[in-house]
Amino acid sequence: MSHKGIYSKLITLFSLLLTLLFVYTAVSKLMHLDTFQLRVERMPYIASYATVISWAVPFVELVIAGLLWFARYRTLALYASLVLLGSFTIYISIVLKYSESIPCSCGGVISTLGWTDHILFNITFMFMALLGIICNNKQNIMQSHQNTVQ
């Protein structure tokens, strides 16, 4: 199998997993939007923006999940995944360090994870997004070399 074939398969795999994560959490949040908003209102530092956040987060997650499947926007979507997951992880880490406790505004079964597990979970998907970016860039470089040779 050529490197290009491996990169393509890895990108597809990471895109599948990220799509699964974002669609799952977005749909879980949208199914109980009032509950999600209530939880965000009880979170430190961001409670004032609860209404905006409760709509924006699932919307952004769904947009990213969609963009992952268009070659033209895939790199953007992978970077957005990395930034979004990184923001969640940093926020959780800050609040855990400086606050007593926070309710989990996560979607679905992810809310049953402990905070350490949740951070590890986020870091795993951030790593996948990062690998996806690297593979995508390598694939683009190989493609441009091929086009140049031809």
Partner 1 sequence: MKSNFLKLVLPAFAILLAVGLAFATEDRAVFQDGHYYDTAEQEWRSIPAEGCGETGNTLCKHLGYQLYSMPSFGSTPLRKNVP
Q: How many CB atoms are closer than 10 A to CB 138?
A: 16
Through-space distance between the first and last CA atoms of the chain, rounded to whole angstroms: 21
- Residue 55's Cβ-count burial label (10 Å; 0-12, 13-18, 19+) is middle
CA distance 133 to 76: 9
Please identify, using beta-carbon distances, which residue of 114 and 149 lies nearer to partner 1: 114
Number of residues that bind partner 1 (CB under 8 A): 29
For residue 40, the minimal CB distance to partner 1 (Å) is 12
Among residues 3, 4, 5, 32, which is the contact residue for partner 1, using CB under 8 A?
Answer: 32
Residues within the interface to partner 1 (CB under 8 A): 12, 15-16, 19-24, 27-28, 31-32, 35, 38-39, 42, 65, 68-69, 100-101, 103, 107-109, 114-116
